[in-house]
Structure 1
Amino acid sequence: MDFAPDCPRWRQVADVIRQRIADGTYAPGTRVPSVLNLSAEFGIATSTSQKVHRALRANGLIRTRAGMGSFVARELPVKPSEKPTEDPADG
């Protein structure tokens, strides 16, 4: 993926995942790529992948189940194509 220099990488990857949710590639209830898989797929650091997951969770698009992974929310609170309104907090 070619990253735009004027936008954080986490946001660009989150936009790709959000679009995949919107177009049905990742249907409600299906697993989304893990932090490690996102890192490998997009050539980004695991800390950047963690920010992607935090942003998607903060926007209600994914849910994480301890020991099982992250899944597309069964009921999406916002249009999946909308961008996150805030930077995910570190931690």
Structure 2
Amino acid sequence: MIEFAPDIPRWRQVADVIRQRIKDGTYPPRSRVPSVVQLQEEFGIAGLTSQKVLRALRTEGLIYTEPGLGSFVSKG
């Protein structure tokens, strides 16, 4: 888990972590990113917060979602 800053929404802070992992190659193109449940477990956040993280990254074009399979890093 990370130590959350009190003045920044948690979903933004978690999105920043996942965004950095994509940029540094921890999650390379076409690899799966953590699911809603995995984000909940790793960061201690609520399911709706996890969904907001994935939605933000999807809106930015960093990830895409395959229904029934999960979310994956975009090709770049």
TM-score above 0.5: yes
- What are the superposed Cα offsets for residues 20-55 of structure 1, whole Å, 9 maximum, x if unpaired? 001000000000000000000000000000000000
Which structure 1 residue ranges, 5 or more long, are not aligned?
Answer: 76-91
Which protein is richer in helix relative to its size?
Answer: 2
CA RMSD of aligned residues (A): 0.4
Query: Structure 2: how far apart are the matches of 1:72 and 1:8?
Result: 23
Which structure 2 residue ranges, 5 or more long, are not aligned?
Answer: none
**Moved runs in structure 1, 4+ residues, more than 4 A?**
none
TM (norm. structure 2) is 0.97
TM (norm. structure 1) is 0.81
